[in-house]
Amino acid sequence: MEEIRNIYCVGRNYALHAKELGNDVPEEPMIFSKPTHALHPASGKLALPGSIGEIHYELEIVARIGKTYKAGMTVDELVDGIALGIDLTARDVQSQLKEKRHPWLLAKGFVGSAVLGPFQPFGGEAAFGEIVFSLLKNDETVQSGSPRDMIFSLQQLIDFIGTRMGLGAGDIIYTGTPAGVGPLADGDALELKLAAGGKEETFGPLYVDLI
């Protein structure tokens, strides 16, 4: 994970997820970031700060950028890998920040809040839309989705971020989460499943340790 530079994340990019939290569906991408200190592999023990209230899982597909963005470049030119990740959110902290109209960083950027699985080859934009991904918590499927249900496509996200903040090799984008987010408890076991190109892979388990 040392080669990762910037971590961009997309909020409310699946309509049902926006609605389950009582949020409006956005008219343009909502972008926030996490520090690289937040990165954690999608296996082993995940130590999280239990003192900050409920921490929610948000399963996402993560796209890795392979070269410097220039206007007009396509997804197929820019993206060189995909992975599954979990955008962990301190939900109580986020609610307080939203009430004050403050940025979300304290709720999104704590150590361990950017879980990331191993990257797989990117099969192109058309194949990307056929991916199905899911999250199991204690052997029960709690989230499932597909990029075809994203409000803003991967191309739209790349153009939006690239023209405003820049994108370069080693940057990654957490592309948003489908419905079904919920809290983690001490001892929970998480597994991430990715079905793409006729193959299904499972990553994990990841064991939650609230400290």
Q: Classify residue 204 as left (phi > 0), alpha (psi -120 to 50) or beta.
A: left
Report the pLDDT value the prediction gives residue 197, as an integer from 0 to 100: 81
Report helix, strand or coil for 116: strand
Tokens 């343009």 correspond to 28
Q: For residue 48, what pLDDT band results from cuts at 50, 70 and 90?
A: very high
Report the pLDDT value the prediction gives residue 102, as an integer from 0 to 100: 85
Report the pLDDT value the prediction gives residue 27, as an integer from 0 to 100: 85
Classify residue 177 by burial, with Cβ atoms within 10 Å: 0-12, 13-18, 19+. Answer: buried
Q: What percent of the chain has pLDDT over 90?
A: 81
Q: For residue 1, what pLDDT band results from cuts at 50, 70 and 90?
A: low
Pick the residue with more confidence: 102 or 158? Answer: 158
Which residue in 209, 142, 132 sits closest to 182, CA to CA?
142
Give the tens place of pLDDT for each residue, 6-17: 999 999 898 765
Give the tens place of pLDDT for each residue, 162-210: 999 999 999 999 999 999 999 999 999 999 999 988 889 999 999 999 9
Report the pLDDT value the prediction gives residue 93, as an integer from 0 to 100: 86
CA–CA distance, 115 with 40 (Å, rounded to integer): 5
Where does the chain have alpha helices with state H?
A: 15-20, 75-78, 91-100, 105-108, 125-128, 154-164
Which residue in 61, 58, 77 sits closest to 69, CA to CA?
77
How far CA 101 is from CA of 94, 95, 110, in Å, comes to 10, 10, 19
CB 50 within 8 A of CB 211: yes
Give the tens place of pLDDT for each residue, 64-122: 999 999 999 999 999 999 999 999 999 988 888 888 888 888 899 999 999 999 999 99
166 phi, psi to nearest 5 deg: 85, 150
Report the pLDDT value the prediction gives residue 23, as an integer from 0 to 100: 63
* The overall pTM is greater than 0.85: yes
Report the pLDDT value the prediction gives residue 16, as an integer from 0 to 100: 64
Pick the residue with more confidence: 126 or 140? Answer: 140
Q: Which CATH class is domain 6-210?
A: alpha beta
Cα dihedral sign, 172-189-140-194: positive
